[in-house]
């Protein structure tokens, strides 16, 4: 056809999509949707695990706080809980052990430095 002195070609420019291309496009779209759903499922599983671990941590901290409250109430009544006594004696024993280790190390370094 000649329109206004120009030759006009029928249809659109470029390649027409074939039915094979359309089927491939639909299959790619389906595959992409499957992958998206799988990623979403994994993300929700991860978030649920994260929430449950945080909830467990919160419960443990609440129990610890309750234990400290009990200790404080006992100390207000003039009683020293056995757990605190054990902690204090354990710390004293730990300090004594650290001092002994330091002395032993110092003795070894003196022996090593005196022998050329």
* Higher-pLDDT residue of 81, 7: 81
Q: For residue 111, what pLDDT is reported?
A: 46
Assigned token pair, 68:
């400290």
Q: Which whole number is the average pLDDT over 33-39?
A: 98
Q: Where are the alpha helices (DSSP H) in 4-116?
A: 19-76, 82-114
State pLDDT tens for residues 74-94. Answer: 999 988 888 888 888 887 666
Percentage of the chain exceeding pLDDT 90? 43
Q: For residue 2, what pLDDT is reported?
A: 57
Among 1-5, 34-38, 41-45, name the one with the lowest average pLDDT.
Answer: 1-5
């Amino acid at each position: 056809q000649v329109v206004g002195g120009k030759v006009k070609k029928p249809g659109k420019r470029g390649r027409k999509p074939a039915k094979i291309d359309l089927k491939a496009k639909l299959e790619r779209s389906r595959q992409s949707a499957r992958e998206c759903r799988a990623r979403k499922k994994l993300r929700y599983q991860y978030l649920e695990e994260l929430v449950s671990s945080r909830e467990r941590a919160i419960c443990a901290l609440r129990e610890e706080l309750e234990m400290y409250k009990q200790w404080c109430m006992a100390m207000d009544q003039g009683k020293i809980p056995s757990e605190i006594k054990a902690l204090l004696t354990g710390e004293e024993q730990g300090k004594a052990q650290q001092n002994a280790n330091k002395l032993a190390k110092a003795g070894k370094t003196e022996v090593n430095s005196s022998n050329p």
